[in-house]
């Protein structure tokens, strides 16, 4: 147990760094999801089961879905903009 | 190993700030902001943790058993909820910026552009102000 907790802390630092270093937003969603799962394990190891439950619901499911919806809206706007340009010219 | 949560929190905050400063995509920038917030989770829970104690749920333990600090856990719970709403708000603002300007790159956003100008309408402006 005394080795497990520092290991999870270091894993948290690594996954947070991965979220920053993955520059493509389509791939960053996977990094955010993994970061939420690692944070869930960290909260469970730190004796905070209620916080772990809400982090599992919010950080590993809801926030990546929000990012997906934003990317979908941006992509739809891009297609619409290109079609509008083609129709004008 | 009591310094480890603080070191991890400082590292996460530094990494998130580096991502915020060097990001070229607004959606990626919102993800970096959530990394900054996970630094506060590590800091608060590391403050309230005690070695060898139980979770603050006394259903099957007698009262008085050493437990971790439940106030910090309540703060982290509030932090998670506020972070989720902040992420949603910033993503909506990002989508609105894309609809208005057609780009997600912060370098290409010109904050002083007149409202309603299309993206490529710099030519009459430079005629008005030849110094630019």
CATH number (domain holding residue B119): 1.10.287.3510
Residues in chain B within 8 Å Cβ distance of A42: 42, 45
CA dist B66 to A47, A67, B1, B52, Å? 12, 40, 20, 8
pLDDT at position A20 over 90:
yes
- The continuous run of DSSP H or E covering A31 comes out as helix A25-45
Whether ipTM tops 0.85, in short, is: yes
CB of B93 closer than 8 Å to CB of A66: no
Interface list for chain A against chain B, based on CB atoms closer than 8 Å: 2, 5-6, 9-10, 12-13, 16-17, 19-21, 23, 25, 28, 31-32, 35, 39, 42-43, 46-51, 54-55, 58-59, 62-63, 66-67, 69-71, 73-74, 77, 81
B94 touches chain A (CB under 8 A): yes
* Residue contact B80–A16, C-beta within 8 A: no
pLDDT per residue over B47-100, tens digit each? 888 888 888 888 888 888 888 888 999 999 999 999 999 999 999 999 999 988
pLDDT per residue over A41-81, tens digit each? 999 999 889 999 999 999 889 999 999 999 999 999 888 88
Residues in chain B within 8 Å Cβ distance of A58: 80-81, 83-84
| CA separation for the pair B57, B50 (Å, rounded) | 15
**Inter-chain CB pairs, A–B, below 8 Å:** 128
How far from the centroid of its chain's Cα atoms is residue B34's Cα? 3
pLDDT at position B129 over 90:
no
What confidence score (pLDDT) does residue B84 get? 93
Q: Which two tokens stand for residue B115?
A: 């409202």
Residues in chain A within 8 Å Cβ distance of B55: 47-49
**Domains contained in chain B, number:** 1
The alpha carbon of residue B59 is apart from the nearest alpha carbon of chain A, in Å, by 14
The domain of B57 spans 4-128
* Residue contact A47–B18, C-beta within 8 A: no
The alpha carbon of residue A60 is apart from the nearest alpha carbon of chain B, in Å, by 11
Query: Which residue do the tokens 């520092």 mark?
Result: A6
């Amino acid at each position: 147990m005394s080795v497990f907790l520092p290991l999870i802390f270091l894993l948290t630092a690594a996954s947070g760094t991965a979220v920053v270093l993955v520059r493509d937003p389509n791939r960053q969603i996977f990094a955010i999801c993994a970061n939420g799962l690692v944070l869930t394990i960290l909260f469970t190891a730190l004796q905070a089961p209620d916080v772990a439950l809400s982090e599992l619901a919010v950080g590993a499911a809801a926030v990546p879905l929000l990012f997906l919806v934003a990317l979908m809206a941006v992509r739809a706007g891009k297609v619409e903009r290109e079609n509008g340009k083609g129709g004008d010219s | 190993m009591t310094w480890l949560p603080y070191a991890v929190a400082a590292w996460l905050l530094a990494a998130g700030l580096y991502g915020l400063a060097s990001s070229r995509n607004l959606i990626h920038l919102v993800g970096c902001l959530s990394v900054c917030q996970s630094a506060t989770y590590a800091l608060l829970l590391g403050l309230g943790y005690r070695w060898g104690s139980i979770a603050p749920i006394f259903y099957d333990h007698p009262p008085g058993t050493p437990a971790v600090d439940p106030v910090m856990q309540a703060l982290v719970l509030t932090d998670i909820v506020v972070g989720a709403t902040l992420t949603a708000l910033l993503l909506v603002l990002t989508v609105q910026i894309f609809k208005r300007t057609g780009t997600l790159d912060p370098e290409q956003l010109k904050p002083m552009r007149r409202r309603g100008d299309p993206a490529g309408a710099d030519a009459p402006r430079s005629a008005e102000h030849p110094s630019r």
